[in-house]
Amino acid sequence: MPFDEQGYRDSGSNGAGGTYCANSSDGCNAWAATANLVGSPAEFTNTTQSGTVLLDSSLNKYLNGEYYNSLSSEAQGLIVSHDWSVGAVFTAASREDGDIYPSEFVAEENAYIWNGKVALLSPSDAYLATGNQNLCGTSNGYYDNMETCSALNYLIPDSGYYWLVSPLYYGSRYVSGVSPGVNFNNGYYARLSQGVRPAVFLSSSLSFSGSGTQSDPYRIN
């Protein structure tokens, strides 16, 4: 699905989407309307683009509407609202550093917070999913050892591309994602249809069994 449908919040919306994406014809990379962010900031910025965002992304709207409502009442009862970090990544600070660490991603992602039930993974989630943080825990380390680090990362798809929740710093139309090549900073236009992997947080009152392996996966008791 598109991260944001063309004409919904961009230049084709006749102002309905706000000023942040008013000059884009390729959708809008902000996950949520500023009024729906924690603290209700007046504008959203990715350091190169700033403005008002008046609507949630069309994917946000779908996942927390039609998709969530299609889940069984039992499944819905396991999911809790959570503060998701939805700030832009690869901002001016991280570009100056050259080698980007997950902690820098987290700091950038935390610039804006959205509270809700269904969202997407973040770039820091993707980097932290590797089995060898010493070798693969930074952007340069990952790219210098791409084959090994990709094989060790359980979030890397065998084929295709799927969206992450974070906008990228350049313009208001590019959204981060994960591909077999692990090009986290090579975004796609928000209007394009890419893979969607919904993410949720479960109630802390749940108990689990299993060891988390393929033959003995975790199970909710």
Residue 12 domain-assigned (yes or no): no
Q: Which of 48-52, 53-57, 102-106, 121-125 has the lowest mean pLDDT?
A: 102-106
| Token pair listed for 2 | 């598109």
What is the reported pLDDT for 18? 98
Closest CA to 203 of 65, 82, 37: 82
Number of domains in the chain: 1
What is the reported pLDDT for 98? 60
Instruction: Return the higher-pLDDT residue of 37 and 169.
Output: 37
Dihedral sign for Cα atoms in the order 214, 67, 194, 145: negative
Continuous segment of H or E residues that includes residue 3: none
Mean pLDDT of the chain: 89
Residue 123 domain-assigned (yes or no): yes
Residue 167 domain-assigned (yes or no): yes
pLDDT confidence bin for 150, thresholds 50/70/90: confident
Continuous segment of H or E residues that includes residue 8: none
pLDDT digits (tens, 9 = 90+) for 186-215: 678 999 999 999 999 999 999 989 998 889
What is the reported pLDDT for 84? 98
| Domain span at 75 | 60-220
Residue 7 domain-assigned (yes or no): no
Percent of the chain with pLDDT over 70: 92
